[in-house]
Structure 1
């Protein structure tokens, strides 16, 4: 399906693997011009031809400034920002969490989106089809026991998204958040393994418990998330803004 994104200028953070990689490849398949970053230099080296990239930690403002300089030079402007970068953060009870691990989780999952959006907005104002999509999580709607830093940051992403949508509506810039649930891939498996270890149960039991809180007992795929993001950023989605959109099989709670 032609989503009307031919020639769109797109910046995706953390695009070397997982959800970010699927988003990069989906935009590329629609004829968009794509630039991405990641801390994984080896992963960046395997990106498809035509995808501009730079190694960058988006929690570091100096690195974000260099990223935008490189991306804007290559793209010649900006129509779409996808704030995808995030980390799982520590697993444990709040009183057990190292403060430095808390800070790092919030910096990568939430503050990085501020770092990128503040530099993107002046350029998005010049676009005829401007969009920001922020990656939140089902944890940003339900909370997540033993994963408080991650859940707190992802709740913050929703507040950032809704507030920015209000600020930028008069500029024609729409801002939405995607809330994935259980996403197929190595990262989700590591999260469930850490929680299983914390609780002293096996992985299969932990996975069963996780799916017991969803109506559709399947993992969401990175491609399904990419498809939703494409729609929001396309002209078809131009009246959708300020939304926190769950793509999670009807998750009712996390535990």
Structure 2
């Protein structure tokens, strides 16, 4: 199957890898991203929109534009996320908590809210929301992030129940530690918070998985394409980790 896919935070990182994977599979691509510089680097054949996923008016306008240009939407990858603060829970400021939850949870909610009517009208569609293994096990020193990533799992399961009778599926991908600039920032902050070296924190993440390695963005992207395809036509409401199998979510290193 190929079709029309919208990917939030599609200008770089996992979102860019998703867009590339869908493009290889013959899909029409629309990426939305807050980072204008990242959008400037995407292929000319892709549609693109600069977007703050927490701005409901902006999200509504984007989906209206998608409907006008494409006449509908076959898949949504609600992928936008931020790491949030790295600190003990008593040291986290409320405004930092709220900012993290706004992007990771409310951004996914708003995207689903405006995708659902198009998909219901068409009688088909796939929603894929990016969570994290932090949404399965928790994440020390990252309370806002873990809370939001747990919450999007509940959101997605509810979407699967609510939209299933309309032929719309919803699933969650939980990436583990993914190689790339964003994870490097996480490693640096955790190293500072724990009084460790960056390499020691890296090794802790890798050794906490059965496969003993970090995930590549392309691994997550391939799962998104599969879950959006007809090959996954009976898969809905599922939480699928792409993480090398986390066997120790909080390795002591």
So what's the TM-score if we normalise by structure 2?
0.96
**Aligned residue pairs: how many?**
250
Partner of 2:175: 180
Whether the 8 Å CA contact 1:52–1:74 is kept in 2: the answer is: no
**How far does residue 209 in structure 1 lie from its aligned partner after superposition?**
1.7
1:124 is matched with which residue? 119
Instruction: Give matches, 1:150-189, under 5 Å.
Output: 150-189=145-184
Are 2:73 and 1:78 aligned? yes
CA offset digits 1:60-112 (Å, max 9, x no partner):
11111122122222222111111000000000011101111100100100111
Q: Deviations over 1:34-78 (max 9, x none)?
A: 111111101101111211111110011111112212222222211
1:46 corresponds to: 41
Distance in 2 (alpha carbons) for counterparts of 1:218 and 1:212: 7
Question: Unaligned regions of 5+ residues in structure 1, if any?
Answer: none
Q: Secondary structure at the match of 2:210?
A: coil
After TM superposition, the structure 1 stretch with the greater mean CA deviation from structure 2, 62-71 or 148-157, is 62-71
Query: 1:193: how far off?
Result: 0.9
1:111 aligns with 2:106: yes
State whether structure 2 residue 58 is matched by structure 1 residue 63.
Answer: yes
CA distance in 1, matches of 2:179, 2:122: 34
Of residues 140, 143, 160, the one that matches 1:145 is 140
Give the aligned partner of residue 195 of structure 2.
Answer: 200
Distance in 2 between residues matched to 1:148 and 1:252, nearest whole Å: 20
Structure 1 position 235 matched with structure 2 position 241: no
Q: CA–CA distance in 2 between the matches of 1:72 and 1:62?
A: 15
8 Å CA contact 1:129, 1:235 repeated in 2: no
Structure 1 residue 128: deviation in Å?
A: 5.3
Distance 1:128 1:236 in 2: 17
Q: 2:248 & 2:101 partners in 1: Cα distance?
A: 21
Query: What CA distance in whole angstroms lies between the structure 1 residues aligned with 2:103 and 2:209?
Result: 27
Alpha carbons 1:33, 1:75 under 8 Å: kept? no
SS across alignment from 2:58? helix
Partner of 1:33: 28
Query: How far off its partner does 1:210 sit?
Result: 1.8
| TM-score w.r.t. length of structure 1 | 0.95
1:94 is matched with 89
